[in-house]
């Protein structure tokens, strides 16, 4: 019985690859790649030569059974996406579920994922947040935004550059133009950029400066902005006992 190993790859800077990820890629009998050309470039950069097979959103249902059969026959199969951690708004969930159903061991390495650095650099509270991935491309976008309107936690979305302005405009219409947000672009790359402003301010900026590259949109939670996250209570005594003393 083989093993499926989900291997995160850099979201931008190739130096973000971990030593363990390199070692495990070298040990794979087969590497499943969202785009074999993109992953092939990474493997060549790392001087790794392993068999590859395409596994992406357009073929994952059709190829699921045959790939699961391969994993059962091989020792270790790695799954990578173009950037980041497999299964996070990328192919992977269906294969993981099928492997679990068959009793195949599944392991995921820690590593790069775009939403975490974007959340941290946004300046919004990080103690609680919700990740929504990509909004629906056509139907259901405004419905989803309306559901998020009263969300008190920080909201994290992925967005493409050619849909960003539309998303900002729709969000402003639903949540209000004064709602604060941060657009984090090209994380870990040479032209990394963070724009923090209200929806209205971001709309004005990106109307004049059309964005390029990979984008994470971080939206402030509903209600009054917290100036700081709650300080942890470090006292070993219960609150009731401290009051009595």
Condensed to tens digits (0 to 9), the pLDDT of residues 47-89 reads 999 999 999 989 989 999 999 999 999 999 999 999 999 999 8
User: How big is the chain, counted in residues?
Assistant: 245
The boundaries of every CATH 3.40.1010.10 domain in the chain are 3-108
pLDDT digits 0-9 by tens, 180-233:
999 999 999 999 999 999 999 999 999 999 999 999 999 999 985 444 444 455
Q: How many CB atoms lie within 10 A of CB 208?
A: 7
Sequence-distant contacts of 35-43: CB under 8 A, at least 24 apart: 35/82, 38/82, 39/9, 39/80, 39/82, 42/9, 42/10, 42/14, 42/17, 42/80
Of 34-38, 112-116, 221-225, where does mean pLDDT reach its minimum? 221-225
CA–CA separation, 200 and 179 (whole Å) = 8
3-class secondary structure, 137: coil
The percent of residues in the chain predicted with pLDDT above 70, rounded, is 91
CA–CA separation, 171 and 75 (whole Å) = 47
The boundaries of every CATH 3.30.950.10 domain in the chain are 115-219
Q: How much is the average pLDDT of 98-115?
A: 96
Q: Which CATH class is domain 3-108?
A: alpha beta
Q: Which CATH class is domain 115-219?
A: alpha beta
């Amino acid at each position: 019985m083989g093993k499926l190993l989900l291997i995160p790859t850099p979201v931008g800077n190739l130096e973000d690859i971990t030593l363990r990820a390199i070692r495990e890629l070298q040990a794979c009998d087969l590497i499943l790649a969202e785009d074999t050309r993109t992953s092939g470039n990474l493997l060549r950069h790392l001087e790794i030569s392993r068999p590859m097979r395409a596994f992406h959103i357009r073929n994952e249902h059709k190829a699921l059974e045959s790939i699961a059969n391969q994993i059962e026959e091989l020792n270790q199969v790695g799954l990578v996406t173009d950037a980041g951690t497999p299964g996070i708004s990328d192919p992977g969930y269906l294969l993981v579920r099928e492997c679990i159903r068959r009793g195949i061991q599944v392991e995921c390495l820690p590593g790069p994922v775009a939403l975490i650095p974007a959340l941290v650099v946004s300046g919004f509270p990080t103690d609680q947040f919700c990740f929504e991935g990509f909004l629906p491309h056509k139907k259901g976008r405004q419905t989803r935004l309306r559901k998020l309107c009263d969300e008190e936690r920080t909201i994290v979305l992925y967005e493409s550059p050619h849909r960003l302005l539309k998303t900002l405009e729709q969000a402003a219409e639903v949540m209000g133009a004064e709602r604060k947000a941060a657009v984090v672009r090209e994380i870990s790359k040479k032209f990394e950029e963070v724009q923090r402003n209200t929806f209205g301010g971001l709309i004005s900026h990106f109307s004049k400066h059309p964005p390029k590259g990979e984008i994470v949109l971080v939206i402030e939670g509903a209600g009054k902005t917290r100036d700081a996250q709650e300080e942890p209570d470090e006292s070993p005594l219960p609150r009731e006992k401290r009051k009595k003393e």
